[in-house]
Amino acid sequence: MNANTSKVNRLTLDEPGDLAAPRGSQPWAIAVRLQIQSVLNDNAGDVKQIRTWLKGIEEHSGYSQLTNEDGEAFSSYAEFCKAKQPWGLGSSPEIIEQMLKDLELNQENIVEVEEEKSRSWGDIEQYLQRFSKVIQDCEDNNSISVHQIAKILNIHIKNAYKWKKRWLDLGWIEPAPEGKRGIYQISDEGKKQVQQWAEQAPSGGFNEPLWLTVPRSNPQKAAEELIASLEVEQLKEIYELIGKSFEKQE
């Protein structure tokens, strides 16, 4: 009995689990716990999906497949939630629900800001800039998903769905022929539009528009994008201008 308990304890902490495993099974419960912990710790993620997993781990008694720090299986959903990480979730169900509500509100505010910005992205030139960036950054540009769009453009998943719909309406992408749900490929029209835009794009220089999508709260990412996008002399000039701006504020 003790040997089995030790084995379960080792598995629940060391193994990544499997989200595709049957609901209520140990591999599924392990994977779900890691996903929920990740969102709660990072304060970022798909709130709707987390609620689904929380409901599932309660309804399918997934918590009973997991053990506390003493190697004993959790006897209730609440006990699992309250147990400290990495065994449990580290907070009561009520506190977790409030955390998700706060995260949901924060994400709604982010979406509103991005939607406000997107209203200035109304011309085809701006559509093509983003579309070409997604194509260039995809490992296989014949396979595009909403999650790839969100990651590459550094935008919320809800707005990634909107960009996907715009490109789909324009005929630049189309559902993948394999029939995989949520997977799209570049259409012949999309390839034609990007090729024509690339041929007409200016060769470079300070007069060329620079398009970067970075979160305002991530200066390191902004710096990395600038370094990758500009020549050394241009970067030096920007450095000097920023320095002069700081001097005026002192």
3-state secondary structure of 175: strand
The per-residue pLDDT for 190 is: 83
Better pLDDT: 190 or 76: 76
Residue 52 has pLDDT above 50, yes or no: yes
Q: Which residues of 89-123 are buried (b: 16+ CB within 10 A; e: fewer)?
A: bbbeeeebeebbeebeeebeebbeebeeebeeeee
Domains in the chain (CATH in brackets) are 2-99 (no CATH), 121-201 (1.10.10.10), 208-250 (no CATH)
Q: What is the pLDDT of residue 59?
A: 94
pLDDT at 163: 84
Mean pLDDT of the chain: 77
Contacts of 249 (CB under 8 A, 6+ apart): none
For the purposes of burial, counting CB atoms within 10 Å of the CB of 14, is it exposed (0-12), middle (13-18) or buried (19 or more)?
Answer: exposed
The count of other CB atoms within 10 Å of the CB of residue 63 is 25
% of residues, the chain, pLDDT over 70: 72
**How many degrees, rounded to 5, is the angle at CA 38 between CA 37 and CA 40?**
65
pLDDT given for residue 54 in this prediction: 94
Residue 68 confidence class, pLDDT cut points 50, 70, 90? very high
Of 55 and 231, more confident = 55
| Residue 38's pLDDT band (cuts 50, 70, 90) | confident
Q: What is the pLDDT of residues 83-114, one digit of tens each?
A: 999 999 999 999 999 888 888 777 665 555 55
| Orientation angle between helical segments 219-229 and 232-249, nearest 10 degrees | 140
Range of 44-53, 64-73, 214-223, 227-236 with top mean pLDDT: 64-73
pLDDT for residue 204: 47
Which of 118-132, 165-179, 219-233 is the least confident region? 118-132
pLDDT at residue 26, rounded to an integer: 92
pLDDT of residue 64: 94
- Contact partners, residue 224, CB within 8 Å, separation at least 6: none
Greater confidence, 107 or 34? Answer: 34
Band of pLDDT at residue 33, cut at 50, 70 and 90: very high
